[in-house]
Chains A and B, each alone.
Chain A
Amino acid sequence: MNIDTLLNALFGSQHQVQRNGDFLAGDASLDGQTLRVIGTTEHAPIGVELALAQAREVLDVVRNHPGQTILLLIDTQGQRLRHRDELLAINRYMAHLGCCIELARRQGHAVIGLIYDQALSGGFITSGLMADACYALPEAEIRVMRLPAMARITKIDEARLTELSQSNPVFAPGVDNYVAMGAVRSLWTGDLQAQLRQALLDARSDNASHDRRAADGAARGGRKLSAQVSAQVRHAGTAA
């Protein structure tokens, strides 16, 4: 969905979200509550500058607006694939963004992610996947790699991958797979403002230090082993 259409559907005229290149930031209001919107648009590649700009916004919210909710709007083609970014240690810039979001959650800010267009690999790990809860629009795309490229690299026949992907959500692109695996809480359809309102209510009951995604993945049948294996390692040899 187009970013302007999305902002209008979520907030009507009640927002001052500004675009600066691919970068989005600004306040928005819902039912009298102010939220900080931070994100990217136009399938932005996340390079060192964009990681840093988002981190700055998050730190400013933590510093200046205790408790304010952060809404991450996600549309990214993933990390920028350039020599310069690697030379400057882009992994450190992106990890910094992830750590800033983690700090915000720990300091009591509800952090909600919404994938409104596409979310690819590294660009998603340090944004939506660090939120309390991440949602997606049904037409959004989440992936690490498309099946043809995956077939080439893994040397497994593409037709076979396509067939297997019907029953196993573990490798094929798609928002439904990420819902089944617990990484996306739910898909937003219909009245998006009502969906956001509900997400804000749900965020209040989320425990910031408890990552429920593996349990959700097991309950939904899309990721059967994560929670179980983690628990086995955690409790091995203890009475629990």
Chain B
Amino acid sequence: MSSSFSESTARKRVLGILDAGTFAEILGPAQRVTSPHLALLDVPAAFDDGVVVGSGRLDGQAVLIAAQEGEFMGGGVGEVHGAKLVGLFQRAVDQRPAAVLLLAESGGVRLHEANAGLIAVSEVMRALLDVRAAGIPVIVLIGGANGCFGGMGLVARCADRIVMSDVARLAMSGPEVIEASHGAEEFDSRDRALVWRTTGGKHRYLSGDCDALADDSMAAFRQAAIDSLGNLGRARPLTLESLEQEHTELSERLRLDGNSRDALQIWARLGVPQPDKVADMEAAELRAWKEAV
């Protein structure tokens, strides 16, 4: 039986995704590269600053991989954390692996070092796009309990491909932030079903914001990563044509769904047979429906 992806640590996820015995960590905990800013605030640091980076093999192919640890400061991006991601993408341009995998789990910028985190996110975006420009695909896998929010939600949408699980969430601002700003009638953060319908894996998959919907197991995520590698063939660098296509898609979405107040309306518009049953459907059922249309 395969273990849950969402309940695993970042390091365990890396080991579960890659071919057995192939992972080599770079700047691991033993080297103790920690955040000096947290120490200054008397906040406990982590010896890897909450992100695991390294190299390994996926289905025999050389890849670079990064995994954010949601248990440490919610996967928040600080100076060192962000710099490790940037360095890994720079290494990819030098070493030309078959792909870079990013196992994202983050609330976004780490507030304790907010300025550094904000700048780092933009540096990660640019370093990621350098990798794509070099013809190397970047695949983002989202399956942690903390979701992928804020700056990391932007980073994810800069990648070639996104895999999510049903329990994963991908968004910009968290529901708590929106509720704090405009009240519970705008977005009730305690309404779990609403939060999930708005930002969860199934909605993102049906809307086309993620490319694959995986079950919440290590084996399923590993298979989805392998499939992504196969589907991509080669990376798709940004071109005027590809961005015009994206622009048309986003404009169409605004036109068709701009007045929707709930994901259920969007799913109905997309032709999902029984939108109110989506919550109870298995990922496999949704995949079968989407692949058929």
Residues of A bordering B, CB below 8 Å: 48-49, 52, 55-56, 59, 62-63, 79, 81-96, 98-100, 102-103, 106-107, 121-122, 124-126, 129-130, 142-145, 150, 153-154, 156, 160-161, 164, 168-172, 177-178, 181-183, 209, 211, 213-214, 217, 223, 225-238
Measured in the bound complex, the distance between the Cα atoms of B129 and A15 in whole Å is 33
The segment out of B12-20, B219-227, B251-259 that lies at the interface is B251-259
Contact A225 B36, CB 8 Å, known A106-B133, A211-B126? yes
Cα-based distance from A55 to B157 in the complex (angstroms): 15
Task: Report if B170 contacts A (CB, 8 A).
Answer: yes
* Binary interface encoding of chain B residues 86-118 relative to chain A, with 1 for a CB under 8 A from any of its CBs, else 0: 111011001000000000000001011111111
Interface residues on B, range: 35 or more
Query: Is B127 in the interface zone, CB < 8 Å from A?
Result: yes
**B79 with A94: CB separation less than 8 A:** no
Known: A211-B127, A229-B84. A95 touches B154 (CB 8 A): yes
Contact A226 B120, beta carbon cutoff 8 Å:
yes
B157 in contact with A92 (CB, 8 Å) = yes
Instruction: Pick from A90, A93, A96, A182: contact of B243, CB below 8 A.
Output: A96
Cβ-neighbour of A144 out of B83, B111, B126 (below 8 A): B111
Task: List the 4 closest pairs (A to B, CB-CB), nearest first.
Answer: A233-B87, A95-B157, A129-B122, A91-B153
Interface of B is mostly: helix
Instruction: Provide the B204-220 mask, 1 if CB < 8 A to any CB of A, else 0.
Output: 10010100000000000
Taking CB as reference atom, which chain B residue is nearest A182? B119
- Contacting pair A144 B114 (CB below 8 A): yes
Contacting B40 at CB < 8 Å: which of A49, A56, A168?
Answer: A168
CA distance A201 to B240 in the complex (A): 26
Contact between A103 and B239 (Cβ–Cβ < 8 Å)? yes
- Cross-chain contact A121 with B154 (CB below 8 angstroms): no
Q: Is B281 an interface residue (CB 8 A)?
A: no
Whether the Cβ atoms of A98 and B187 lie closer than 8 Å is no
Q: Is the interface of A mostly helix, strand, loop or mixed?
A: helix
Evaluate whether A226 and B247 lie within 8 angstroms (CB atoms) in the complex, with A83-B186, A91-B170, A178-B115 already known.
no
| Interchain CB contact under 8 A, B87 and A59 | no
Name which residue of chain A comes closest to B254, CB basis.
A48
Which residues of B have CB within 8 Å of A177? 115
- Chain A nearest CB from B27 CB (Å) reads 6
* B254 contacts across to A, CB distance below 8 A: 48-49, 52, 88
Within 8 Å by CB of B114, from A125, A150, A156, A225, lies A150
A-B contact number at CB 8 A:
251
Contact B26 A145 (CB under 8 A): no
Smallest CB–CB gap between A131 and chain B, Å? 10
Asked whether B260 is an interface residue with its Cβ less than 8 Å from the other chain, the reply is yes
B33 within 8 A of partner (CB): yes
**B3-11, B171-179, B271-279, B284-292: which one contacts chain A?**
B171-179
Residues of chain B lying within 8 A (CB to CB) of residue A59: 240, 243-244, 247
**Interchain nearest-CB distance for A66 vs B (Å):** 11
Q: How far is it, in angstroms, between the C-alpha of A232 and the C-alpha of B120 when the chains are bound?
A: 16
Q: How far is the CB of A163 from chain B (nearest CB, A)?
A: 11
Give every chain A residue within 8 A of B204 (Cβ-Cβ): 89
Report if B158 contacts A (CB, 8 A).
yes
Write the chain B residue with the least CB distance to A51.
B250
Given that A103-B243, A232-B87 are known contacts, is A98 also in contact with B114, CB under 8 Å in the complex?
A: no
Q: Is the CB of A85 within 8 A of B172?
A: yes
Contacting pair B187 A233 (CB below 8 A): no
The reply to whether A183 and B238 contact each other, CB–CB distance below 8 Å, is: no
* Chain B residues closer than 8 Å to A124, beta-carbon distance: 118
Q: Is the CB of B119 within 8 A of A233?
A: no
Contact B178 A86 (CB under 8 A): yes
- What are 5 A-B pairs with beta-carbon distances under 8 A? A91-B170, A150-B114, A171-B115, A172-B115, A209-B130
- Of all chain A residues, the one with the shortest Cβ separation from B113 is A170
Task: Decide yes or no whether B266 CB sits under 8 A from chain A.
Answer: yes
Across the interface, which residues of A come within 8 angstroms of B154, CB to CB?
91, 94-95, 98, 122, 125-126
